[in-house]
Structure 1
Amino acid sequence: MQLLLLNQAYAFEKKEVGDKIHFALQDVVQKIYRDNKTNLPINNQIKKVTEDYYIVNVDDVFEAEVLEYYLKTEFQKVKLDVDFEYAIYDCASDEMMYGSYISSNVEQSEKCENCFEKKEGLIYYFAIRFPQLKYSLIGSLGQYWFFTGILLLVLVIYVYSVFQLLRQKKYAELQTDFINNMTHEFKTPLASILIASNYTQNQPEIKNNPKLSKYTDIIITQSQKLNQHIERILTVAKGDGKWIELDKKPIALKEMIELIKENVLLKTNKQSAISIEIPVQQKVMADEFHFYNTLFNLIENAIKYSGDSPEILIQTTETAKGLDISIADNGPGIEKIHIENVFDKFYRVPREDKKDIEGFGIGLSYVKKIIDLHYWKIKLENNLKGGLTVFISVPKKDCI
């Protein structure tokens, strides 16, 4: 539709310019007859050969200087600001005598003296051509070109967005396939390994052989660790789904964190000290399952990255906007250049490789996802005396 509109605008502009040229040349002929004091013939004296080339049959004597003056004057009257050049037929030499090139610009195009052809059967006539007429017509449609350009830009952006959406859809399907395959291909054989290992561990032959018992413990421990990684990946993958809905209900903060403390201490071999400074009556409205996983991830990370003797302080602070839950550790902290990226999926802060800090970089991305779904805020800050503090800001509407 835009191209059709542009074409119609071009045709209208071309017709308007053609009419201006015709009327201007007609006035030039009338003035020549007026100067010669002769009667103007009725027949059409102006012939349009092409869009930019005209032949004017004056059928009376005229001078080149007078013709040029009249052409300039009449074109100015109709506000026709285009370059033109003309030639006059000389009956003595039977040739077209080139007149001049009239340009509104300082820099004019090259003359084309050979562009004028004789017209048989005429004696007193001149020819005029407009070499820049086509470019002038295109230039006069500036606003149409502008809107057409904007439309094409929007169209390109739209098509690009559609391709991106299709690509994301493809990735989502791959992710779904990945989850399904992982559930079937990993968890099924892993469950079989754990069942067989637990059965084997209880056999008298294994219990009485320290080496075999040690190897069996390694199999069970590593299988359990692999199972935890798989569960975490599945949890994060499922948490990305837009279909997830939170089941909010009142949760006693201290009671939940005490439970998390017990479970975390059972998993770690470190001599960890976890202090909880939270009023017993303090509650928040949250999804119990996901909020538990969120706090568990944060507290587990605090212990994991705090060296051999972790000291964790968990407390709440009431603010004008609601409640702040803070989890502070005595670890090395995180460099500023990495703090903004720690919530990105699969992003891991460069650290010394150790067995107790293995991971896929998906725990904090899950935490951020759950916090965002609650419409809460989370941020990380390095402590002045070392360590890192995680702040979860709960708005007043979710505080009880």
Structure 2
Amino acid sequence: MQTIFQNLKFNKLNIIVFIGLIAIIGVITMQLVMLKQAFMFERKEIGDKIHFALQDVVNKIYGDNVNDVPSATPIKKVSDDYYVVNVNDVFEAEILEYYLKSEFQKVQLDVDYEYAIYDCASDEMVYGNYIDVEGDEQNEGEKCENCFTKKEGLVYYFAIRFPHLTYNYIQSLQQYWIYTGVLFLVLVIYVYSVFTLLKQKRYTELQKDFINNMTHEFKTPLSSILIASNYAAKQEEIEKHPKLHKYLQIIIEQSNKLNQHIERILNVAKAENNLMTLEKKAFNIVDTLELVKDNAGLKYPDAAIIFSTPKQEYKVVADAFHFYNIAYNIVENAVKYNNTTPQITIAIQETNKGLDLLFSDNGPGIPSQHIEYVFDRFYRVPRENKKEVEGFGIGLFYVKKICEHHGWKINIKNNQPTGVTITISIPKKSIT
């Protein structure tokens, strides 16, 4: 465990984990302190009850014999569960047992006990009886006649033992033990969850490193393929051979498409790891959105793309390259996931807080149980009766990350009766 925490980086997740661990350990420590205090209190309370009850027993014996009670205490505590009482006067075993029962009952001491009386004639401890609070006074299985030893220097005395006193302490603190057990269970679950989270985090980082390394490794051979293919396509022999020319165009087209996917994955990786450097400058977003409309219209001639704006100039301080990419991604998604003739509307609206860019379509919409996850990395909405659309599920994740890096807000909602609307809110501080 020490090695794992030494290798942790000082980031927000680790700080939260550390604070949570300290908080739980602190609560458990406080609970253990309270448990110890409650145990000491219970121990003292029962000890006081035993002492007072035994003192009253001695007083009654002295009263029966019409003698004065000595000033020195006759009760000697050998241990928590063993007492020696110096009566220093004659007494009967039956009377002693009666007084013990009545006095313990007065102080509400519901614990089993047994006693023995010193016999001067035999110079031995004579076992008296085992008293069970539940009423079984002859509980032979609980007797311990050899547990009583002589006390030198005393003549008239008896000894009393409480065999289950420690168990009574624990039983009386039952609710404290339950609370402590629950807290320890919480700590175990928390530690297990942290280890699972850290392991999952490590696997995620390894996955990201693998994807990043893989895409970088793909870039070099792919660039070589594109250079060689473009060169070969311009050769006279290839241009004169229609089939070869067609095959080379397919290679170039698919290589460019693969290159776009790789670039998109790299951009997402940079955005997620905060390695992306935004080149912010003021530009007219109307021109950029017009360019998005035109380029999407050329690529998807069947799509009807409408762009509306109250004014022909809205200057925004942002990264123009990434702004174009997120706008084009949204429009392209609206076209690709539409199972009818696509109709996309791009609109600029002025608000009290700044500008809203609205991208609406007439597609099938997104099921309510999936709509909150569409901006998650690699998440793709399951679709029925529709052929699988190319992609990795990172387009909208990239869009959201770019908006976050700019300090913009983005949300998505279903339209009525069909389609969705994605809204990008640009605050006034980004508008010049």
TM-score, length-normalised on structure 1?
A: 0.80
Which residue, out of 251, 255, 262, partners 1:223? 255
Q: Is this contact kept in 1: 2:380–2:393, CA < 8 A?
A: yes
Matched, 1:239 2:268: no
Q: State the secondary structure of the residue aligned to 2:392.
A: coil
Cα distance change of structure 1 residues 396 and 70 upon mapping to structure 2, 3 Å threshold: same
Q: State the secondary structure of the residue aligned to 1:337.
A: coil
Q: Distance in 2 between matches of 1:277 and 1:14?
A: 80
Show the counterpart of 1:276: 307
Q: CA deviation at 1:42?
A: 8.1
Cα distance change of structure 1 residues 289 and 110 upon mapping to structure 2, 3 Å threshold: farther
Q: Distance in 2 between matches of 1:109 and 1:276?
A: 98
Matched, 1:202 2:234: yes
Q: Distance in 2 between matches of 1:397 and 1:383?
A: 30
Q: How does 1:1-400 map to 2 (within 5 A)?
A: 2=29, 5=33, 9=37, 12-13=40-41, 16-17=44-45, 19-20=47-48, 21-40=50-69, 46=75, 48=77, 50-59=79-88, 60-62=90-92, 63=95, 64-73=97-106, 75-76=107-108, 81-87=109-115, 89=117, 96-98=127-129, 100-102=131-133, 111=139, 114-117=142-145, 119=148, 125-129=158-162, 131-137=164-170, 139-140=172-173, 146=179, 150=183, 153=186, 157=190, 160-161=193-194, 164-165=197-198, 167-169=200-202, 171-183=204-216, 185-244=217-276, 246-266=278-298, 268-278=299-309, 279-307=311-339, 309-351=341-383, 354=387, 357-400=389-432
Gaps of 5+ in 1: none
- Aligned CA-pair RMSD: 3.8
Q: Summarize deviations over 1:235-290 as a string: whole Å, max 9, x none.
A: 11111013545454433221111222333344x25333322111212233433333
Q: Distance in 2 between matches of 1:160 and 1:108?
A: 51
Q: State the secondary structure of the residue aligned to 2:253.
A: helix
Cα distance change of structure 1 residues 137 and 369 upon mapping to structure 2, 3 Å threshold: same
Q: Summarize deviations over 1:95-123 as a string: whole Å, max 9, x none.
A: 534263336xxx99995664242646577
Q: Distance in 1 between matches of 2:305 and 2:288?
A: 14
Q: CA deviation at 1:187?
A: 0.9
Gaps of 5+ in 2: 1-25
Cα distance change of structure 1 residues 34 and 247 upon mapping to structure 2, 3 Å threshold: farther
Q: State the secondary structure of the residue aligned to 2:393.
A: coil
What is the number of equivalent residue pairs in this alignment?
Answer: 389
Q: State the secondary structure of the residue aligned to 2:413.
A: strand
Greater shift after overlay, 339-348 or 162-171? 162-171
Q: Distance in 1 between matches of 2:43 and 2:368?
A: 67
Cα distance change of structure 1 residues 155 and 114 upon mapping to structure 2, 3 Å threshold: closer
Q: State the secondary structure of the residue aligned to 2:145.
A: coil
Q: Is this contact kept in 2: 1:376–1:394, CA < 8 A?
A: yes
Q: Distance in 2 between matches of 1:110 and 1:247?
A: 93
TM-score, length-normalised on structure 2?
A: 0.75
Q: Distance in 2 between matches of 1:196 and 1:256?
A: 33
Q: Distance in 2 between matches of 1:190 and 1:110?
A: 95
Q: State the secondary structure of the residue aligned to 1:378.
A: strand
- State the identity as a percent: 39
Q: Is this contact kept in 2: 1:271–1:310, CA < 8 A?
A: yes
Q: State the secondary structure of the residue aligned to 2:373.
A: coil
Q: Summarize deviations over 1:55-75 as a string: whole Å, max 9, x none.
A: 4353521403233222333x3
Q: Summarize deviations over 1:12-40 as a string: whole Å, max 9, x none.
A: 44762574234542443233223322355
AA matched with 2:268 = V
